[in-house]
Copies of this chain bind each other. A is one copy, B any other.
Amino acid sequence: MHRLNPNILPLSGVMTPALVVDAVALEENIAGMALAAQRTGVALRPHAKTHKSPEIARRQLEAGAIGIACATIAEAEGMSAAGIGNLLITSPVVGRDKAARLAHLHRRSAMIAALDHSRQVEEIGAALTTADAPLSVLVDVDVGQARTGVVSIEDAVALAQHIRAEPRLRFAGLQAYAGNLQHLIDAQERQRAAAEAAKRVGDVVSRLQAEGLSASIVSGSGTGTSAFDSRGGPYTELQVGSYIFMDADYGRIRELDGTGLPYERALFVIATVVSVNRHGQVTVDAGTKALAVNGPMPDRFVGVANGSSYAFSGDEHGTIRLPPGAPQPSVGARVLIGVTHCDPTANLHPVYHVVRGDGTLALWPIVGRYGSAGIA
C-alpha cells in the first residue's frame, strides 16, 4: 500500500480533479539526484519546465543545484518573482518583446540564454544597454533532436564569434540537449546514443577551444541519460527535470542492471468516481483536461484494486477498468492516479496539493503558464 491515500484528512477536502504531490517521494528524488551528481562531480541545473514551481526550485537549490533551467521567459519571470536566481533559458529567445523581457529579468539577477542564430544575438544585444552587465550566452548545439541548435561545428564557431563580438553579451559555453534519447527504454541503447551525442559536443568544445573560445559551461542531459552524462564530460551541468516526479513514461525506463530509474513516483491526480453503472468499470472525473495525453496510460493507482487500468473518456472523464472480481468503488470514492507524462500534466493545473511527511497539506502554486501574468 502506498503511503498516500486519497481518503486521508488533508486530501478529503480537495476539489477534484487536482494535482497531488507526495512530498516524501519528492524530497527523496531531489536528494537522490543531488547525491548522484555529487559523486561524479557534475553540477545540476534542474529544469523548471517539469514543475513550474518556485517551491520545488528552492528545494533543488538547497540540495546543491547551481541554478535552474527554464523553457520560456514566462517560467523565468515566475521563478524570478519568487526570488529564484541563476536562471538559464533553454529555448532561443526570439522577438523584440521577449528580448526586452529577458533584459528586464537580467537586471534583477544575471541570466543565461541559449541561442542558435545571429538574429537572436542581435535582438538581445539591442535590448541591453551599456549600463547592463553583459548577459551570458550559450550556443545551442543540435545533437540529433532536430529541434533547436546549430547543426555544424562551423556554425557553432561562427555564432560563438558573433556573441564574443557583441559587447553586451558574453560567450559562456554550449547547450546540447538530446531530448530524443531521454525516453529510450533500453539502457544500453540509451547509453550508446548518449555517448555519441557527448562525443559530438566534445568535438565542438575542442574546436571552440582551438579558436580561443572557452566553453566554461556545457549544459545538457536529462533524467534518462543523466547517469551516463554525469561521467567523463563534456557536460559541466545537467538539466534534469522529470526525476522529481517520475511518471508512467519514465516508469518504463530501465537502468543498465535491468532495474528502473532510482526515483519514485511523486505526482498523482486525485479524482472522484462519478459513475458506476457499468459492471467491471467506473468513471472518474479526470480526463484529457486533467492528465496529459502524450504518455503511456496511468499504471499506478491508490484507491482501486491492483491491476486496474485507465483509459481516457473525453475532456472531463476517464474509465478505470477493474480486474476480475475486484470490488467496485462507490459513487463519490476517491482515487489517486499516477500521471501519464509529468510536465504537460502539471501544466494543466494551477496548484500542487503537497502532502508532507507529517500528513499535513501545503499548496504550491504553478507559475509561468501561458498568459498567467497577463489578462485575467
Which residue of B is nearest A49, CB measured? B315
Asked whether, in the complex, the Cβ of B347 is within 8 Å of the Cβ of A372, the reply is no
**Chain B hits for A167, CB < 8 A:** none
Question: Contact between A317 and B350 (Cβ–Cβ < 8 Å)?
Answer: no
Contact A316 B351, beta carbon cutoff 8 Å: no
A4-34 at interface with B (beta carbon < 8 Å): 13, 15-18
- The CA-CA distance from A18 to B98 in the complex, in Å, is 14
Interface residues of A in 68-120 (CB under 8 A from B): 71-72, 91-92, 94-95, 97-98, 116-117, 119-120
How many angstroms from the CA of A79 to the CA of B365 in the assembled complex? 25
Copies in the complex: 2
A317-B91 contact, Cβ under 8 Å, with A98-B15, A363-B375 = yes
Residues of B within 8 A of A274 (CB): 91-92, 94, 148
The segment from A37-45, A192-200, A287-295 found at the interface with B is: A287-295
Other-chain contact of A119, B94, B294, B314, B332 (Cβ < 8 Å): B332
Q: Is the CB of A350 within 8 A of B372?
A: yes
A288 to B142, CA, bound (A): 20
Shortest distance in angstroms between A135's beta carbon and chain B's nearest beta carbon?
18
Does residue A285 face the partner (Cβ distance < 8 Å to B)?
yes
Per the CB 8 Å criterion, the residue count for chain A at the interface is: 71
Q: A350–B370 contact, CB under 8 A?
A: yes
User: Is A147 at the interface (CB under 8 A from chain B)?
Assistant: yes
CB pair B91–A285 under 8 Å, yes or no, is yes
What mask results when residues 286 to 305 of chain A are scored 1 for a CB within 8 Å of chain B, else 0?
Answer: 00111011100000000000
Map CB proximity to B onto A114-132 as digits: 1 under 8 Å, 0 otherwise.
Answer: 0011011001000000000
Q: Are B347 and A315 in contact (CB under 8 A)?
A: yes
A331 to B99, CA, bound (A): 13
Which of B95, B277, B312, B371 contacts A349, CB < 8 Å? B371
Q: Which 7 residue pairs are nearest across A and B when measured between Cβ atoms?
A: A350-B371, A148-B275, A293-B294, A119-B331, A293-B293, A94-B274, A147-B313
* A interface residues, Cβ below 8 angstroms from B: 13, 15-18, 49, 71-72, 91-92, 94-95, 97-98, 116-117, 119-120, 123, 142, 145-151, 155, 179, 272-278, 281, 283, 285, 288-290, 292-294, 312-317, 319, 330-332, 343-344, 347-351, 363, 365, 369-372, 374-376
- Extra contacts besides A94-B273, A350-B372 (19): CB < 8 Å: A17-B370, A94-B272, A94-B285, A95-B272, A119-B331, A119-B332, A120-B331, A146-B313, A147-B319, A148-B317, A149-B277, A150-B277, A288-B292, A289-B344, A292-B293, A347-B348, A349-B371, A351-B371, A365-B375
